[in-house]
Structure 1
Amino acid sequence: MIEFKQFWYYLTRYIDGFLIAGILLLMFVGLTTLYSATGANLGKVCNQAINMLIALVIMWLIANIPLQQIMRLALPIYFLGMVLLIGVALFGEINNGARRWLDIGVTRIQPSELMKIAVPLMMAWYFDKHEITLRFRDYVGATLLLLLPVALILRQPDLGTALLIAVSGFYVLFLAGLSSRVILGSLITGLCSMPLLWSFMHDYQRRRITTLLDPSQDALGAGYHTIQSTIAIGSGGIVGKGWQNGTQTQLDFLPEQSTDFIFAVFSEEFGLVGNVLLLLLYLAIIGRCLVITANASTQFTRLIAGSITLTFFTYIFVNMGMVSGILPVVGVPLPLISYGGTSIVTMLLGFGILMSIKTHPKLVKT
């Protein structure tokens, strides 16, 4: 009995109990919804469970690493990610007109996923090094660290991932104290340059925007996803049709129902009540992450914790907005719910960093 208590102590001493409880609940919801979305495909559910288990192990390992060591990894991880992105540009595999994957012999990897953590980690490290003498030129330097990988990812092209990385980097800039006048000026400049940006967009990216305004203009093409997902959400009503009883899902009208549009499956089966409970669970996790951010003791920990938390919120907002038809379809998964191993590993790696910040306060400089 004593040995078990010791084992349990060493297993959980760097794990935040509230946060891990919320994560495990979301994973349970994800597996339950996935079982229905795949037509009771137990093999796919088991694969996802294995992905989750691997991600949990990675989260546990990161949570046990003191923050000084994570800080030392910021530059090498960023440099490795940039090398891999250049490798994708030169030697990457082309699928459906996009060059996003790199074959390294043993397996294929998507380096842009690594940059979702590497970019805010690097920017937080950069601001921590310049904390005492922080000037406007330091913000310019941090912006360059952000724009280089974003430009390479846009070239693939992968607009959704590029925007998410840009947003995560912006959160670091904002939390580091970037002037509101600069932010407002950049926003106005961006809006004024929209006609120019439109000319550089790919045809499929333009269709996503025009389809958002009127999905019926291409009901069997670009607008099909939005039309079917909104029908599924609306048909769920207040309490939903019940688990495995969603007609849009079970009759295969809903596309990408196990990945990007799994929220529509959940909405159809569990209705408004289920959506409210899911949102409350997400909000509880975000709230806990904000508490960890507020209690962070250094510039580095505050910036990386805040960026991870706000990026997690952005994933939720963009996916639900996309499925509900209020945002363009950009291929963003619903965190810890959608099928896919890479996104879950990336997300839990970030949560591992948050847990390390929470449980290693004495090991971080003050």
Structure 2
Amino acid sequence: MIDRRLIQNFDWILLFLIAGIAVMSIANLYSATYAVRNIGGSQVFYKQIYWFLIGFSFLLVMTTFNYTHMDRFAYPAYAISILLLVLVLVTGKVTSGSQRWISLGPITFQPSEIAKFSIILVLAKFICERGTQKSYHLRDLWQPFLLIALPAGLILKEPDLGTALLLVAVGGSMILIVGIHWKSLVILLCANMAAAPLIWMKLEPYQQMRILTFLDPGLDPLGSSYHINQSKIAIGSGLFWGKGYLHGTQTRLHFLPEQHTDFAFSVLAEEWGLLGAGFLLLFYLALIFWGLMIAANSRDRFGSMLAIGIVAIVFWQVLINVGMVTGILPVVGIPLVLFSYGGSSLVTTMILLGLLMNISMRRFMFQ
């Protein structure tokens, strides 16, 4: 029998925010793929609707069980994600020079998306097991750092710098929320600065070039700088009101690269201007704020840490993607969450948001 309190506490605000971003995403994708033959045009548009329907189905499924029982599956889920990341490096599908996909018959998915879910789950479990100590010292950090570094390192080998950095940012956010002693934090910052040259040497040549062109956009205007230059032209030409729906010249003339995936926000800004872009960002801000409220109102530590991890996923993807397309950050290939085209990323995000809704709906259970 369904507990009536679950229906009474259904989080309609969270559902409204997700649905609002979904509607804007589908409308923007139609424009981004309008009469564009080389990326499938209407086929891509209908596929995204299909993925949204699947995603919403998974979201509802994630609200049907008690999330507190998920802690027992944290380490097994983490182990499975590591095995899949190893498997993709051995037998994965190579696309555009990156080995990120596993094909199982008609289904193709990215194990790195599963890693996002598992890292949140395993860190929430680990933090709860450590108890409520005030802050972490260096001696306490080697275990969570190892949990983060293992999947991040495997993803970096694909290579997928953007997702690897995202895992580090999300894991780091969860640990920082718990608290790190200031002396330990200073040591870690100094160690990262000292390791920067080594990290630079480990980057692929195209990744190094992206950073160099970020520092100097005029370095390679027809090569590595082309993407970001065209994106800034599109965003700037939208001004306040935009050029109108289906009337973005950068988009229609195909100057804007990856306009249905990584640079979907640029399409929106060109056609709807600062007003439309700001409206979308307000929805994201509300979603992040509401997620933090859910974390604060959760009646158990495990639920609170899960909520913080999910909010961190949304926050960092929005920050990195918008910063990337506006030239504030280097191009690292992070899609705009719930907005850019992509099945694996969309379904994973909807599963995580379904878990966030689960936590919100069951907050009364611990009163």
1:194-209 map, 5 Å: 194-209=196-211
8 Å contact 2:227–2:256 — kept in the other structure?
yes
Say if 2:38 is the partner of 1:36.
no
Deviations 1:174-209 (A, max 9, x none): 122222332232122212221221111110110110
Sort the Cα spacing of 1:138 and 1:60 in 2 relative to 1 into closer, same or farther, 3 A: farther
TM-score normalised to structure 2 length: 0.92
Deviations 1:97-142 (A, max 9, x none): 3222223345332111101111011011112122167974443212
Give the percent of matched residue pairs that are identical in Structure 1 and Structure 2.
39
Matched residue SS, 1:52: helix
Query: Which of 353, 356, 362 pairs up with 1:354?
Result: 356
* In 1, Cα distance between equivalents of 2:93 and 2:48: 25
Between 51-60 and 87-96, report the one with greater CA deviation: 87-96
Query: Which of 150, 157, 160 pairs up with 1:158?
Result: 160
Aligned residue in 2 for 1:76: 76
Deviations 1:74-109 (A, max 9, x none): 222111101111112222233333222223345332
The one-letter code of the counterpart of 1:331 is G
Gaps in structure 2 of 5+ consecutive residues: 36-40
Matched residue SS, 1:220: coil
* In 2, Cα distance between equivalents of 1:280 and 1:243: 20
Deviation at 1:214, TM superposition (A): 1.9
Aligned residue in 2 for 1:3: none
1:237-256 map, 5 Å: 237-256=239-258
1:1-366 map, 5 Å: 15-39=10-34, 41-131=41-131, 136=137, 137-363=139-365
Matched residue SS, 2:333: coil
Deviations 1:275-330 (A, max 9, x none): 22112111111111111011122221111111211221111111011000111111
Matched residue SS, 2:359: helix
* In 2, Cα distance between equivalents of 1:279 and 1:93: 34
The one-letter code of the counterpart of 2:125 is W
Deviation at 1:210, TM superposition (A): 0.5
* In 1, Cα distance between equivalents of 2:141 and 2:60: 33
* In 2, Cα distance between equivalents of 1:295 and 1:224: 46
Deviations 1:230-274 (A, max 9, x none): 000000011100000100000111000011001110000011111
Deviation at 1:362, TM superposition (A): 4.5
The one-letter code of the counterpart of 2:86 is I
The one-letter code of the counterpart of 1:30 is S
* In 2, Cα distance between equivalents of 1:260 and 1:162: 16
8 Å contact 2:234–2:269 — kept in the other structure?
yes
8 Å contact 1:55–1:344 — kept in the other structure?
yes
* In 2, Cα distance between equivalents of 1:153 and 1:64: 32
The one-letter code of the counterpart of 2:30 is Y
Deviation at 1:157, TM superposition (A): 1.3
Gaps in structure 1 of 5+ consecutive residues: 1-5
* In 1, Cα distance between equivalents of 2:290 and 2:112: 27
Sort the Cα spacing of 1:10 and 1:177 in 2 relative to 1 into closer, same or farther, 3 A: closer
Between 180-189 and 50-59, report the one with greater CA deviation: 180-189
8 Å contact 1:75–1:122 — kept in the other structure?
yes
Between 240-249 and 165-174, report the one with greater CA deviation: 165-174
8 Å contact 2:213–2:225 — kept in the other structure?
yes
Aligned residue in 1 for 2:38: none
What is the RMSD of the two structures over their aligned residues, measured on CA atoms?
2.1
* In 1, Cα distance between equivalents of 2:9 and 2:71: 18
* In 2, Cα distance between equivalents of 1:288 and 1:96: 37
Deviation at 1:216, TM superposition (A): 2.2
8 Å contact 1:48–1:339 — kept in the other structure?
yes
The one-letter code of the counterpart of 1:26 is I
The one-letter code of the counterpart of 2:322 is M
Sort the Cα spacing of 1:303 and 1:74 in 2 relative to 1 into closer, same or farther, 3 A: same
* In 1, Cα distance between equivalents of 2:181 and 2:104: 42
Deviation at 1:10, TM superposition (A): 9.9
The number of residues matched between the two structures is 359
TM-score normalised to structure 1 length: 0.92
8 Å contact 1:66–1:363 — kept in the other structure?
no
Between 103-112 and 247-256, report the one with greater CA deviation: 103-112
8 Å contact 2:85–2:112 — kept in the other structure?
yes
Sort the Cα spacing of 1:363 and 1:291 in 2 relative to 1 into closer, same or farther, 3 A: same
Matched residue SS, 2:62: helix
8 Å contact 2:298–2:359 — kept in the other structure?
yes
